[in-house]
Amino acid sequence: MAFWVTTLIFVLCGVIASLILRLFCNKGPSTNLLHFTLAMTATVCCWMMWAIVYLAQLNPLIVPILSEE
């Protein structure tokens, strides 16, 4: 459940970033498409990294064993 919520948050961040870019750096359709592509790529990369690390910890096969200190 938390996974999908956070995924939704990432999607929203991506959309907001695209909107902000569109508002402040509107330089014609081809440039806007470039900005949009970059924003989407960045969002996907960040989301992938988070999702991988999150999923790996959902059902772990080993637990932390503290070391003697």
| Interaxial angle between packed helices 2-24 and 29-58, expressed in degrees from 0 to 180 and rounded to the nearest 10 | 160
Task: Please say which residue, 8 or 38, places its beta carbon nearer to other proteins.
Answer: 38
- The whole-angstrom separation of Cα 45 and Cα 14 is 11
- 56 contributes a contact to other proteins by CB under 8 A: yes
SS3 (DSSP) at 64: coil
Q: Do residues 51 and 7 make contact, with C-beta atoms less than 8 angstroms apart?
A: yes
The residue count for binding other proteins (CB under 8 A) is: 33
Q: Using CB under 8 A, which residues numbered 14 to 53 contact other proteins?
A: 29-31, 33-34, 37-38, 41-42, 45-46, 48-50, 52-53
Query: Which residues are near other proteins by CB under 8 A?
Result: 2, 6, 29-31, 33-34, 37-38, 41-42, 45-46, 48-50, 52-68
